[in-house]
């Protein structure tokens, strides 16, 4: 099987099968870009009880630990910036009302939607 054929004007041309394969490959690449650029709906978090906010996306070995930067309650509604799924838990990056950013974890009294 040859990748090129010579036309009647002695010009090399791609074979039809190769042209189709390249077009299909390009279509898949473009489709992959379209899917990766798709925006998902923003997440929200509902706080059902006392929740501690930490500096890093790694939860403390024991709750609540001593290195939390804030404590939230059911009346707080922080903006969700990012959600990460890890080994058995979800880490949620939030922006607090005072502008600080930190992480809360699914092991505490939260619902992430």
Domain that holds residue 104: 45-112
The answer to whether residues 28 and 51 belong to one domain is no
The answer to whether residues 56 and 26 belong to one domain is no
pLDDT of 46: 92
The answer to whether residues 16 and 55 belong to one domain is no
The answer to whether residues 32 and 51 belong to one domain is no
Residue 74 scores a pLDDT above 60: yes
User: By three-state DSSP, how is residue 2 classified?
Assistant: coil
Which comes out higher in pLDDT, residue 56 or 86? 56
Stretch 50-56: mean pLDDT: 93
Single pTM value for the model: 0.62
Residue 104: which CATH number?
Answer: 2.30.30
DSSP string, 33-101: HHHHTPPPPPP-EEE-S-EEEESSSS--SSSS-S-EEEEE-TT--PEEEEEEE-SS-EEEEEE-TTS-E
Number of domains in the chain: 2
The answer to whether residues 71 and 51 belong to one domain is yes
Residue 32 scores a pLDDT above 70: no
The answer to whether residues 56 and 29 belong to one domain is no
């Amino acid at each position: 099987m040859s990748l090129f054929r010579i036309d009647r004007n002695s010009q090399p041309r791609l074979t039809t099968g190769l042209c189709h394969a390249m077009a299909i490959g390009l279509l898949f690449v473009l489709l992959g870009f379209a899917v990766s650029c798709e925006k998902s709906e923003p997440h929200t978090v509902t706080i059902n009880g006392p929740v501690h906010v930490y500096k890093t996306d790694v939860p403390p070995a024991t709750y609540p630990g001593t290195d939390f930067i804030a404590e939230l309650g059911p009346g707080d509604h922080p903006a969700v910036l990012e959600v990460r799924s890890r080994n058995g838990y979800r880490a949620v990056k939030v922006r607090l009302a005072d502008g600080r950013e930190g992480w809360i974890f699914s092991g505490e009294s939260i619902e992430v939607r």
